[in-house]
Amino acid sequence: MAVKNGKSGPRAAGQDELVFVALGGLGEIGMNVYLYGFGPEDARQWLMVDLGITFPGESEPGVDVVLPDLRFIEENPKSLIGIVLTHAHEDHIGAVVDLWPKLKAPLYATPFTAGMVHSKSSEFGGKLKLPIKTVPMGGRVQIGPFDVEFVTMSHSVPEPSALMIRTPLGNVLHTGDWKLDRAPLVGDPANETRLQELGAEGVLAMVCDSTNAFREGRSPSETEVATSIAELIKAQPRRVAVTTFSSNVARVKAVADAAEATGRELVVAGRSLHRVINVAIDTGYLPKNFRYLDQDQAQYLNARDTCLLCTGSQGEARAAIARISANEHPAIQLNKGDTVIFSSRTIPGNERAVGRIQNNLARLGIEVITDNEALVHVTGHPRRDELRQMYTWIKPKVAIPMHGEARHLKEQGRLAKAAGVPTIVEPLNGDVVLIAPGAARIIDEVPTGRFFRDGSLIVPDDDGPVRERRKLAQVGMVMVAITLTPRGEVLGYPQVALDGVPQEGGRGEAMYDLALDAVEGTLKSIPQARRKDPEMVREAVRKAVRGAVADAWGKKPIAKVLITMVDGK
């Protein structure tokens, strides 16, 4: 049966319960934050799985990253007994540095993931000392009432792990991000034998990745991509650049191997790539003698002798490939006849940014190769045949789709039902799912939301500077400066400045003159005695200026009026 809401079901007061709730990651791609709770309703202990970010869209100007709202768990931080990280992608670990100081719970991660978190924290001056307990691949730890086993999977980053979470009320398999790649190029393949053993042991609920729930078949292997990239790089007559997800160490190795095989020097452009490469060398996923040049050395190499590896496959404005496409990179320039390979798939929401870069490259006469033209990328998530295989092995009694937009979650629910899973629960962020005892169902709701990292500050999404920037981006601003005396006299001439507002109105009239006329006319219309009230003057001038510009433009700008009070003697 499919269960959407069962809040009215009977529950015994004071009994232990096993519950699941997402503070991010359900109904969206990214910002994965999941909680498992055990104990009576008023005294639960919580285990957090992942603490990730998502990236801002064009409607969030100036925002660096989007962070989850953790107020639910922050209100009782002592109930959070541990944070387990499944793998090193930003949408699973990216919020740790920003938000861990509010939580202060022990962190658990495998070596590569721990190394990536430590590397990220060092970018903040090394002041944050994170208590990460390193767990070996396939390791097992006891965290309060939760017995957590790390199960080796394959994905597009080293050391992805599913979690077998054992509790007195039943076992839950939290898959994390995964695929069944038997030749992942870097790292171990998914431990299929162990997955089948866990299924035989008994799994009450499986919380499973839904990203590719619509895609039939099975995901190709990273080894197949490496072969294809090597052939493409060999065929290019001039300089070739590859942009990919920085964390995809297998892709980094594939490009490096192809460069070496074709006699090219590998040049790495982008801070995040350097960071990942260093961690991969430290943890043994790249050889100690892994050789590459920094971007500053690219200008001294012949075009035919160069293979560039660049950040920015998702259209990030300040990443290497974006700056190269705009001819703004300080050390690297591409020319007509060069080739750029986008070894990635565009994440939903990034289409316009990626398209802008690709079009800029095309205008420069550079050939652009994407996964539409060649096998240059494979997904790190399971397609339908892999999902069916997992349900066959695990045989859960309850399926809870995660990691996807609402339509992905729905589709995996249908697939799980077809696979014979008796109960499907389809929550969204904030829904509290009772897994045991009794019938699995949604029983409650907790607050969720978003915060923005804006420079060095964390600000709410529903109010504050980002909201103001949205308005500015749409309608611009008119600034007015006026000097008044305490007696209501106007000193000098009002000053007007327009930003983001057209210079002329629809009939050719100067917008500056319209705004200035509105200011002067309003000041003259207010008797001097009433001008002693600066707030009244401010509001009257603001409305007049805004109305005058709106009449000529058809849009109402933001209007700001600055009043300086001075002694006019």
Q: Rounded CA gap, 149 and 360, in Å? A: 48
> What are the φ/ψ torsions at residue 401 (nearest 5 degrees)?
-65, 140
Please report how many Cα atoms fall inside a 13 Å half-sphere around the Cα of residue 187, on the Cβ side: 31
User: Is 475 within 8 Å of 500 (Cβ atoms)?
Assistant: yes
Q: Quickly state the pLDDT bin for 2 (edges 50, 70, 90).
A: very low
- Token digits of residue 65: 């990253």
pLDDT at 4 over 60: no
User: What's the rounded mean pLDDT across residues 522-533?
Assistant: 94
Give 555's pLDDT tier (boundaries 50, 70, 90): very high
- Which pLDDT does position 145 carry in this prediction? 98
- Residue 1, pLDDT > 60, answer no
- Cα gap 171→185, rounded to integer Å: 32
Element (H, E) at 199: helix 192-201
Cα 220 to Cα 181: distance, rounded to the nearest angstrom: 7
Per residue in 214-256, pLDDT tens?
A: 999 999 999 999 999 999 999 999 999 999 999 999 999 999 9
Looking at residue 469, what is its pLDDT?
Answer: 82
Paired tokens of 88: 């090193």
pTM of this structure: 0.88
Of the candidates 445, 314, 388, 271, the residue with the CA atom closest to the CA atom of residue 30: 314
Beta strands in 360-472 (DSSP E): 367-369, 398-402, 423-425, 431-436, 441-445, 450-454, 457-460
Kindly list the structural domains of the chain, giving each domain's residue range(s) and its CATH number in brackets, ordered by start. 2-7+15-217+379-455 (3.60.15.10), 222-369 (3.40.50.10710), 465-565 (3.10.20.580)
Please compute the mean of the pLDDT values over residues 145-162 and round it to a whole number.
97
What does the pLDDT look like over 38-90, one tens digit per residue? 999 999 999 999 999 988 777 777 778 899 999 999 988 899 999 999 999 99
Closest CA relative to residue 412, chosen from 380, 382, 378, 379:
382
Pairing mode, strands 490-499 and 107-109: unpaired
pLDDT band at residue 455 under the 50/70/90 scheme: confident
State yes or no: pLDDT of 457 exceeds 90: no
